[in-house]
Amino acid sequence: MNQTEPLAYRMRPKTLEEYVGQEHILGEGKILNRTIKADRLSSIILFGPPGCGKTSLAKVISETTKYKFYKINAVTSGVADIKKVVEETQNFMLNPIGKSILFIDEIHRFNKLQQDALLPYVENGTIILIGATTENPYFEVNKALISRSMVIKLNPLTENDIYKILKNSLERKDGLGEYSIKIEDSTLRKIADIANGDVRTALNGLEVAVLTTNMESDGYIHITDEVIKNSIQNRKAIFDKNGDTHYDNISAFIKSMRGSDPDATLFYLARALNGGEDPVFLARRIVIAASEDVGLADPQALVIATSAMQAVHMVGMPEARIILAEAAVYVANCKKSNATYMGINKALEDVANKDTGEIPMHIRNAPVEKMKELGYHEGYLYPHDFPGHWVEQQYLPDKMLGTKYYIKDENIK
C-alpha cells in the first residue's frame, strides 16, 4: 500500500464486482458487462461528469483484458505518444497479438490533428480506443472516431453509491482501514450528499477530515458533521460554464421562460450564476427570449430585458443576480407569442430560396425628378391623407401577393 497516493486513487476497483454504480451499463446481462467479461471490447467513448467512474472503468478493463493496455492523458500527450503505442503494438516481439487497448483520458483535449492520427489504427483494429471525457463527445470528438466507437454515457453516482464506497474505504486496508475512526452513518451520508455525484470529491473530503483530525483520549479519530463541514466546505457544483452542462443548463433556462415557469426559471438562473456563468451572457438570453417568445404579446418585455442587460453591465455581480431574476421572471410570467419570430424566419426563407419578383414601382423611392418619368413612386397613396391613416394599396411584389408572414395569434391585442 502506498499511502502517499490519494484515497480516491487507492479505492479504484480492480474487478467488475468491486465497481459501484452505473447499473444501466454494467448491470448483469448489460452489453458492457458482457463485453468486458468476455474480453471482446470494441472502441468506446465514455462521457459523464467528473468523479462518476470513467477512469475506474478503464482500470477494471486494464485488469481483465488479455490485450496490452496503454494509458495516456490528452493534456500531456501528443501524436508522438500515439505513434509509440502503435509501433509497440505492431512489433510482434513486444506484442504477438498485434492489438492493444489505448485509454485516452480527457480525449476532448486532443486537437483534430491528434484525433486524426488515431483514426487509421482504430479503423483497422490495431488500436481498441477507450476515450474518457467530461464533454459531450458529439461536439468535441472527431465524427469519424465517433462513428467507429460505441458512445456510452455515465451518470453521476447516486448518494447510495457514494455512501457504499465511503463505507468500503473505512474497512479496506488500502483505504482508511488502518486508522481508528469513529463516524456516524448520517455523517457519511452527508459527505455523499455534498459530493453531488462526484465520488472523488467525497473520498478526498473524507481523507482530509481523517488526516487533519487529532486522535482523542479514547484512541479514536472522531469525524463529526462539523469536521466534514470544514473539510469539504460547499456542496459540489455540477455546472461547468465551459462544458456540456453549460448548454444543457442554458437550454433549460430558456425553455423554462418560454414555458412560463418562473420557479424553474429562477432555479436554472441560480445554477448558472453559482457555476460562474457570465451574467451578461444570461442577460442577452433574456433579451432574446423577450423578443422571440413573448414578442408582441407584451412588447414591454423587450424594454425590461434590454434595460436589465444595461443594468447588469453597469452594476456587475453579485447585485446583478437581482436584476437578472427580475427580468427573467417577468419574461416567464408574460403571455407568449412567436408570431414575429415565425414571420421573419419564413420571410428570410422565401427571400433566400424563391424568385420573389420586383418591388412595386409605386412604393419605390424617387429622389431625382427624372426617376418619376420612369415610373418610380408614381401612383403612391400616402396613408396619412386618408381616413384612419390607412388606404388599400399593394406593397408586396406581384409574385408574392397573398403571402402571409405575420399571423396574429390570440395573445396579441
Domains of the chain in start order, with CATH, are 22-153 (3.40.50.300), 159-232 (1.10.8.60), 244-333 (1.20.272.10), 340-400 (1.10.3710.10)
Whether pLDDT at 243 is above 70 = no
Q: Which residues of 209-231 are buried (b: 16+ CB within 10 A; e: fewer)?
A: bbeebeeeeeeebbbeeebbeeb
Residues in Cβ contact with 15 at an 8 Å cutoff, skipping those fewer than 6 apart: 60, 63, 64
Q: C-alpha 63: how far from its chain's center?
A: 31
> What order of strands is seen across the sheet that includes strand 150-153?
68-73, 100-105, 127-133, 44-47, 150-153
Can you give the pLDDT at residue 248?
Answer: 84
Query: Does residue 240 or residue 312 have the better pLDDT?
Result: 312
Amino acid (1-letter code) at residue 32: L
* Strand-pair partners of 69: 101
pLDDT by residue (tens digit) across 15-39? 888 899 888 888 888 888 888 888 8
Residues 285, 250: contact at Cβ < 8 Å? Answer: yes
Indicate the average pLDDT of the chain: 88
Q: What are the CA-CA distances from residue 356 to residues 293, 351, 393 (Å)?
A: 28, 7, 18
Identify whether the C-beta of residue 142 lies closer than 8 Å to the C-beta of residue 149: no
Place of cell 448520517: 186
What is the DSSP annotation of 167-218? HHHHH-TTTTTTS-EEE-HHHHHHHHHHHTT-HHHHHHHHHHHHHTS---TT
Residue 156 grid coordinates? 453521476
**How confident is the model over 132-183, as pLDDT tens digits?**
988 888 888 888 888 888 898 998 889 999 999 999 999 998 889 888 999 9
The DSSP letter of residue 22 is: -
pLDDT of residue 233: 64
Predicted pLDDT of residue 329 = 97
| Dihedral angle, C-alpha 365, 366, 367, 369, nearest 10 ° | 180
44 by DSSP, 3-state: which? strand
pLDDT band at 1 (very low <50, low <70, confident <90, very high): very low
Angle between helical axes of 159-171 and 199-211 (0-180°, round to 10) = 40
